[in-house]
Amino acid sequence: MKVKAEIDAGVCGFHTSACVSSEDSQHVTFDIQSDCGKIRAVAELLKRKGEIDAYQEISTNAPSVVLGTASGVLKGCCAACAVPVGLFKGMQVAAGLALPKDIQINLRRE
């Protein structure tokens, strides 16, 4: 299955587009395009890792490759970037582990 994730990260104004593919409903690959240099670095690291086991990603027995790779790159104010969550959700849908449903975070001062 192929899943397309379009992610607008927020006030930074950067846009990320990711195609997450799975041939066997378990192992996924990422094709990520982004305006953000840090996300492009995450994309390159994930590409080097090759296929990622989505079942292992959702397991509580080991840390997530996707989220761990992102946290290794996204430091400081970028540590709370929404893109890694979007990539993780795309991975779940591509592997048939979740249904496709948009996610949204709304922030406002009160």
Predicted confidence (pLDDT) per residue in 30-70, tens digit: 999 999 999 999 999 999 999 999 999 999 999 999 999 99
Q: Which residues contact 81 (CB under 8 A, 6 or more apart)?
A: 9, 38, 39, 70, 74
Record: fold of 2-94 = Sufe protein. Chain: A (3.90.1010)
**Is residue 106 predicted with pLDDT exceeding 90?**
no
pTM confidence score:
0.94
- The residue among 19, 13, 24 whose CA lies nearest residue 86 is 19
In whole angstroms, what is the distance from residue 92 CA to residue 87 CA? 9
pLDDT of residue 97: 97
